[in-house]
Structure 1
Amino acid sequence: MSARRSYAFIGLGHLGSQLAANLIRNGFAVTVFDRDPAAVERLVVLGADAGGSPAEAAALAGNAITCLPSPQVSEAVLAGPGGLLEGLPAGGGWIEMSTNGQDEIVRLASLASARGVETLECPVTGGVHLAAVGQITALVGGDAALYARHRPAVEAMCARSFLMGPVGSAAVIKVITNMLAFIHLVAAGEALMLAKKGGLDLAQSYHAIVASSGNSFVHETESQLVLNGSYDIGFTMDLALKDLGFALGMGEKFGVPLELASRVDAIFRQGKQAYGGSAWSTMIVKLLEDAVGTDLRALGFPAKLAS
């Protein structure tokens, strides 16, 4: 198999494991690494090889993909001891699928460029349940020729991809989409609570909103997990606050007052204080449930979103 169709994949969490699995299912040679041996073993069972470090995995594959929880972790995996830059050859590609701020990804790409490694930023949006079936959307930043070279891999993982511009462009639009998602989530919780306190059937209210001008992707998906009571979206309060921090930073940098995002950031900080940073982000609605003393529950909604 050519080097172009061979990738190291570093970061096998809720999202990364699904993306890597789709690469394997679509015939790519994948060498995986994660600090969790069980996560590695699950991918090995599907046909991946295991690398002993990011550097080793990258040297075996010639190209690398990362899906990691923070810019700090991305930098350590890229440029730290045993990192990708110790293994990737000059001319190799690094596809960064983590969510970063614009300044962070531009700086990390410059570190890679200094070692002859080309960077394609490729954060995704849509949720883990869509990643599981290859229906998630990729937001791409980087050189158009580099995108074309790695597009088969991107399309093996994602149903749609949008080239937004040079490196840093995808970071901006990804932060925008996440900011909107968190605003919509808080709004959906408030809407459902109004329906509950107004004496409406919550299941019927859910479906009526879906069919209305007030509908959103977040209501269609995450409201179901609230109504079930599992809140299990596979995305944490800490990650939400990281992304909201990026949004507020961009607002300050670009001179855009973000009043709604600022208020939602404050609400999520309350949520983290109440339930912990590792709680699912959808539990932000539980903050309202607890404040009002009323649970938002209805029959017929799943504990997890269908893949």
Structure 2
Amino acid sequence: MSEGYAFIGLGHLGGKLAASLVRNGFAVTVFDRDPAAIERLVALGAIAAGNPAEAAERAGNAITCLPSPKASEAVLASPDGLLNGLPAGGTWIEMSTNGRDEIVRLAGLASARGIETLECPVTGGVHLAAAGKITALVGGDADLYGRHRPPIDAMCAKSFLMGPIGSAAVIKVITNMLAFIHLVAAGEALMLARQGGLDLAQAYHAIVASSGNSFVHETERQLILNGSYDIGFTMDLALKDLGFALGMGRDFGVPMELASRVNAIFEQGKAAYGGGAWSTQIVKLLEDAVGVDLRAPGFPARPESPKDE
């Protein structure tokens, strides 16, 4: 725990990750555009900074969790950004979801200033981040990964070193693409069950115990059955990640027929409900088309954090 860390980006996900660091005894300096988000972390024991450069200068290393490559570049390279605060030999740990080309380019900007980079996007959902049980997908130098394993392990139950910078971006986009495909399929499955006269709660539990089960079914489908849809992840973010997947398909020469169709469905969802709507509301397109809500009693409004065993 001798290393200090600045944490920039305290939104739905980043705030939970930063809180895990603080709870585990790390010296954490925080910054976010939302003063309330800073206050929540300061109440846990973090130190507030006035901008990313100040936070990075104080800590010596920096972690970011931001909504887009554009935001990451602004936090990294703006006049009050990380590159003007991190010392040579410091490390930038990027936990945002980026495309492969974006993270390689941004890591190059950092390297030119003597700053090393680990890409470390996470997967599993905000509820797992809150419990410190999310999974990290890491790209970068193995020795650098080893140096920063303590904070990664404090935030994440599992981590996988995928290869050099850019490797984690590829696997993270793949996992998100699969989740969105599963989500659309989940809506169609529930609607078939509903229109087939089945009890939706019983159908849910039967699928959990079947070969058709998935992580998305166990978590996000509960929020659909509740009617809250509150997954903490938006249509805009889904479309960003699907765009990365389609771009990789073009770059790698892989036909992406299913991902392309799911991307078009999410474009419909954004047009109908807005880019800020929860990604789970993609199922509402089907509900509205059929004129039937997919609801059942006994399901939570938000994903529940797993209990300690």
TM-score w.r.t. length of structure 1:
0.99
**CA deviation map 1:13-60 (0-9, x unaligned):** 000000000000000000000000000000000000001000000000
Rounded to whole Å, the distance in 2 between the matches of 1:81 and 1:179 is: 35
Q: Who is 1:47 aligned against?
A: 45
Instruction: List aligned pairs for 1:195-210, cutoff 5 A.
Output: 195-210=193-208
1:92-241 to structure 2, matched below 5 A, reads 92-241=90-239
Cα distance, 1:63 vs. partner? 0.1
Amino acid at match of 2:105: R
2:76 aligned residue: 78
Q: Say which of 287, 290, 305 aligns to 1:289.
A: 287
Q: Look up the match of 1:19.
A: 17
* Equivalent position amino acid for 1:195 in 2: A
Give the partner amino acid of 2:286. Answer: L
Match of 2:255 among 257, 277, 280: 257
Return the offset for 1:197.
0.2
Deviations for 1:185-216, whole angstroms, at most 9, x for unmatched residues? 00011000000000000000000001000110
Structure 1 CA distance for aligned equivalents of residues 256 and 287 of structure 2: 26
Question: Over the residues paired in the alignment, what is the CA RMSD in angstroms?
Answer: 0.5
CA distance in 1, matches of 2:259, 2:149: 33
Displacement after TM superposition at 1:71 (Å): 0.2
Q: Where do 4+ consecutive residues of structure 1 move more than 6 Å?
A: none
Q: Which amino acid aligns with 2:124?
A: G
Deviation at 1:306, TM superposition (A): 1.0
Are 1:269 and 2:278 counterparts? no
Provide the C-alpha distance between the structure 2 equivalents of 1:187 and 1:174, rounded to a whole number of angstroms. Answer: 20
SS for the counterpart of 1:233 is: coil
Q: CA deviation at 1:237?
A: 0.2
Deviation at 1:257, TM superposition (A): 0.4
Q: How many residues align?
A: 305
Unaligned runs of 5+ in 2: none
- Structure 1 spans left out of the alignment, 5+ residues: none
SS at 1:266 equivalent: helix
- SS in structure 2 at match of 1:139: strand
Matched AA of 2:118? L
User: Aligned residue for 2:7?
Assistant: 9
Question: d(CA) in 1 for partners of 2:287 and 2:140?
Answer: 43
Q: Give the letter aligned to residue 159 of structure 1.
A: A
The amino acid that maps onto 1:57 is: A
1:247 matched residue in structure 2: 245
* Counterpart amino acid of residue 141 in structure 2: D
Superposition deviation, residue 88 in structure 1: 0.1
Q: Using the alignment, how far apart are the partners of 2:257 and 2:149 within structure 1?
A: 37
CA distance in 2, matches of 1:107, 1:288: 40
Aligned residue for 2:229, secondary structure, equals coil
**What SS class does the counterpart of residue 14 from structure 1 fall into?**
coil
Compute the displacement of 1:81 (Å).
Answer: 1.4
- Provide the C-alpha distance between the structure 2 equivalents of 1:281 and 1:165, rounded to a whole number of angstroms: 30
Deviation at 1:305, TM superposition (A): 1.1
SS class of match (2:148): helix
The one-letter amino acid of 1:130's match is: L
